Chains A and B, each alone.
Chain A
């Protein structure tokens, strides 16, 4: 079974631009969660989608948004990029219940200049 894939793996943007990251979950998984990892804040939950609906949202500004498609693939978008948005963005997929194991992709390293 193929794992979680994320594209692109690396991205460089400048302040004020927007960016879209993509995540393809493990086949059969309907839940996709997004996390941000930074040296200062660690691993923080952004949001989770299940069957095309956002079920949970972390404490991030509205510049961070996402969506999920009918095939469970998910995208996250960050608008008006700030230097502090430089981070490793990780997505994880699971079947959808709280005790299901979340399987992570390799992440997208975003650098904002």
Chain B
């Protein structure tokens, strides 16, 4: 049973426009989610997180929305920049310091 699922393997967006990356999840008693960004040959870098007590969390150009009824979360990047081109993973803890990662979405921001 996949805990989080990213259905879009890739996304291309023009520079300056909004990027929206999506993630669906299955039932859990503890809704806490994270987004990581990963460049090739580097480790994932933490971007932003959200817990079930909120439906939105914002950090600069990055905003994560949580729709608990739809079991869906999305990461919005506004405005998108070429340096945002990377693979984005949603993840959730499944135990103490055990993260389950989605399969990732490769974002390409076109200058």
Residues of A participating in the B interface, judged by any CB pair closer than 8 Å? 4, 31, 33, 35, 42-45, 48, 50, 55-56, 58, 88, 90, 92, 94, 96-107, 109
Contact = CB atoms under 8 A, between A and B. Distances in A.
Interface string B15-38: 000000000000000101010100
A4 B43 contact: yes
A45 B98 contact: yes
B110 interface: no
7 contacts: A33-B99, A35-B101, A43-B104, A102-B46, A102-B99, A105-B43, A107-B43
Contacts of A102: 46, 97, 99
- Report which residue of A97, A100, A102 has the largest number of chain B beta carbons within 10 angstroms of its beta carbon: A102
Interface string B41-67: 111111001010000000000000000
A108 B53 CA distance: 37
A102 B45 CA distance: 9
A109 B41 contact: yes
User: Which of the listed residues B99, B100, B102 has the most CB atoms from chain A within 10 Å of its own CB?
Assistant: B99
Contact of A104 (B43, B96, B104): B43
A104 B45 contact: yes
Interface of B: 30, 32, 34, 36, 41-46, 49, 51, 89, 93-104
Contacts, number: 77
Contacts of B42: 106-107
Contacts of B104: 42-43
A102 B101 CA distance: 13
A107 B97 contact: no
A99 to B, nearest CB: 6
B43 A56 contact: no
B22 to A, nearest CB: 16
